[in-house]
Structure 1
Amino acid sequence: MPKALPVFDMSAPVCCPAVAVGPLSDADALAIAMRLKAIADPVRIKIVSYLFSSSDGEQTSRQLAAVLDLSESTISHHLGRLRKAGIVISDRRGMNVFHQVRPDALQALCTALDPGCCT
């Protein structure tokens, strides 16, 4: 039976020492790895890319499904993973849910991987 990964809150942007500064603690390494795992999927990368490139920075699941030629349930699944990792936030307005990328989360992840990447 495979070993289950520990469960912890990933809703806040990653905030830990940069990989480049030296050996990380187990908790810090796991925090970074779980966020990278959440975004390491071609569909999720396309969702993040489309959200960044949309004119107002937010889209509904229906809009994303149409442009990516996937079902709404597939898009919702991927958005759930991105939301759980703290990369995407969702806002319900009436019958629609609008999704947008949290730039601070991606900036924090970039900085954790390479402290000089985003300066």
Structure 2
Amino acid sequence: MSMSVQGVAPRVTSVGDLCCSPILQAPLQSGDALALAGALKVLADPARLRLLSLIRAADDGRATTRVLADQVGLTQPTVTHHLGALFDAGFLDRERAGRQTWYSVNTDGLRAIQQLLDPTPVGTVES
């Protein structure tokens, strides 16, 4: 991960880079806390959450910027900005087909965040 322009928090390049244990099982190191906060900041936007849900619910689990812009009532450049942030953070995959770019949800990225926030150890069933 590289430092941001302000030098405060590392830019999240992929949630796969978040390698710490779940936050309720062990103390976070400062670098891990910055990386996790960066990933959560990307998700802490209502438009981005809506875009994720619309893509996941779309036919074949993928959608284009144009279709998404129509669904959320935002301009295509604004939607492109949000999709870029979600892609950069590892929450989306994208595939170019001619002049169109198709986005799909990277479930591994979302699962990584879920596992970091889940206090239940992997393989354990809570009663």
- Normalising by structure 2, report the TM-score: 0.83
CA-based RMSD:
1.9
**1:6 equivalent in alignment to 2:18:** no
Query: Shift in Å at residue 70 of structure 1?
Result: 1.1
- Who is 2:65 aligned against? 61
Seen in structure 2, the aligned counterparts of structure 1 residues 117 and 69 have a Cα distance that, compared at 3 Å, is farther
Deviation of the 1:15 alpha carbon = 2.8
2:3 is aligned to none
Shift of 1:54: 1.0
The answer to whether the 8 Å contact 1:18/1:111 transfers is: yes
| SS of structure 2 residue aligned to 1:21 | coil
Point out the more displaced range, 10-19 or 52-61: 10-19
Q: For 2:111 and 2:119, how far apart are their aligned partners in 1?
A: 10
Superposition deviation, residue 55 in structure 1: 2.0
- The alpha-carbon distance between structure 1 residues 118 and 70, as it changes in their structure 2 partners (threshold 3 A), is farther
Structure 1 Cα separation of the partners of residues 56 and 89 of structure 2? 17
Q: Which residue of 2 aligns with 1:46?
A: 50
Q: Deviations over 1:52-74 (max 9, x none)?
A: 11121110000100111111001
Structure 1 unaligned blocks of 5 or more: none
Distance in 2, matches of 1:20 and 1:90, equals 33
Q: CA deviation at 1:90?
A: 1.3
Q: Which has the higher contact order (CA 8 A, sep 6+)?
A: 1
Gaps in structure 2 of 5+ consecutive residues: 1-5
Distance 2:109 2:65 in 1: 21
Percent sequence identity over matched residues?
35
Mapped to 1, the partners of 2:47 and 2:54 lie a distance apart of 10
Q: Could you tell me how far apart the structure 1 residues matched to 2:27 and 2:13 are?
A: 21
One-letter amino acid of the structure 1 residue matched with residue 99 of structure 2: M
- Alignment check: 8 A CA contact 1:110 1:117 kept: no
